[in-house]
Amino acid sequence: MTVKKDFSEGPLLKNILIFSLPLIFTNLLQTFFNMTDIAVLGRFASPSSVGSVGSTVILVFLCTGILIGFGSGVNVIVAFFIGAKNEKDICETVHTSAIVCLIAGFLVGSAGIIFSRSVLNLMSTKPILIEGAVLYFRIYMIGLPALAFYNFGNGILSAEGDTKSPLLFLFISGIFNVVLDLLLVIHFKMDIAGVAIASVVALYVSAFLVFIKLHRKKDSLALRFSKLKISKSKLFRLLKIGIPAGMQNAIFGFANLFIQIGVNSFDASMVVANSAASNSDPLVYNVMSAFYVACSTFIGQNYGAGKKIRVLKSYFISLALSFCFALFLGIFLFVFGRRFVSIFISEPAIVELGMKRLSIMAFSYCISAFMD
């Protein structure tokens, strides 16, 4: 096959930065559009609506983290076979992964819908917030198959060095998200249901665009209905990487559930403040995740090509870049924290409460580079 970009040759630092920049913009774009939900509710609905949606953030992360883990597995395996220049294995991996990721999306989404109220009650969600939280979470879970498919496609495209297409797809789907947010919340007064529906529509738009991109390809990365079948060896390989990666995200999310339970034990103002301030988390973590994808892609291709020294160098360069970017963003958020929190909530007292969280988290983000 003709590889879009061969990362087994050339300067690593330069190539990792060039590869990561579109990913950073993609992730920032995704974060911005996700923040739009909270910002629209904060400006055009009640503070309790912000609290309801914010109460589901950790639970959403828990569910989506599992699917992101499978997407990471796809990226690593496809990058490995690209480095090894094995077209048959690439084709089998693509079609096996498509089936597995979709099944995972349906299973996780169904579980989320069924157990949403029980889990949110277990998290001690405030009675004033619980109904809105259940409504938002259940609607959002309908979009999980689309999210799973998008992550599958993103993993494949990133493995061959195409980080610009996902950026374009998210930009288009994000426009749908923002327009629908404003239309459904301001014009149709749908409040929480409006932002949830907007998010789901955006997820399916991005998944559809990824499908069109893969279906139109002419190489071994092309997705064809006639070739959709599970290869046992590729299934085992995907589960071997995808399950631990998904479980790592899930365990992290599960641990954060206890933090959310603690937050929910305070009054509603504190819950709303935490919801507003916690928007800094995906902003920083999604930038850092660009370097994680770069790391897995570069390691995958170089490992497949048998270049072990470049594997180690790819790891340490990606780690250093992730740490430095997180430190810079943390300092930025510490300095401009009040302006950041006030984007999502306008009440000065709640903004000050949000700053308590942000001032602690700002200098902690960079440490997570060593964990991830």
Q: Mind listing the pLDDT tens digit for each residue in 235-253?
A: 999 999 988 988 887 787 7
pTM: 0.84
Q: What is the pLDDT of residue 4?
A: 60
- Domain membership of residue 7 (yes or no) is no
Query: Looking at the domain assignment, is residue 133 inside a domain?
Result: yes
Does residue 95 belong to any structural domain of this protein? yes
Helix axes 144-159, 164-182, angle to 10 degrees: 150
Encode the chain (372 residues) as per-residue pLDDT tens digits.
555 677 888 899 999 999 899 888 887 887 777 778 878 888 888 878 988 998 898 888 889 888 988 998 999 999 999 998 899 999 999 999 999 999 999 999 999 999 999 999 988 888 999 999 999 999 999 999 999 999 999 999 999 989 889 889 988 999 999 999 999 999 999 999 999 999 999 999 999 999 999 999 999 999 999 999 999 999 999 999 988 988 887 787 777 778 878 887 888 788 888 878 888 888 898 889 889 889 988 999 999 889 999 999 999 999 999 999 999 999 999 999 999 998 888 788 889 999 999 999 998 999 988 876
Instruction: Quote the domain boundaries for residue 176.
Output: 12-371
Q: Measured in whole angstroms, how far is the alpha carbon of residue 177 from the centre of its chain?
A: 16
User: Are 215 and 71 within 8 A, CB to CB?
Assistant: no
Q: Looking at this protein, which amino acid is placed at residue 192?
A: I
Q: Does residue 132 lie within any of the structural domains?
A: yes
Overall number of domains in the chain = 1
Q: Is residue 332 part of a domain?
A: yes
177, 199 contact by CB (below 8 A): yes
In a domain, residue 131? The reply is: yes
Q: According to the model, what pLDDT value does residue 3 have? A: 53
In a domain, 5, yes or no: no
In a domain, 6, yes or no: no
CA gap 351, 172 in Å, rounded: 32
- At residue 22, φ and ψ (nearest 5 deg) are -60, -35
Q: How far apart are CA 308 and CA 342, in angstroms?
A: 48
- Give the per-residue pLDDT at 248: 81
Cβ atoms of 243 and 69 within 8 Å: the answer is yes
| Rounded Cα gap, residues 107 and 133, in angstroms | 21
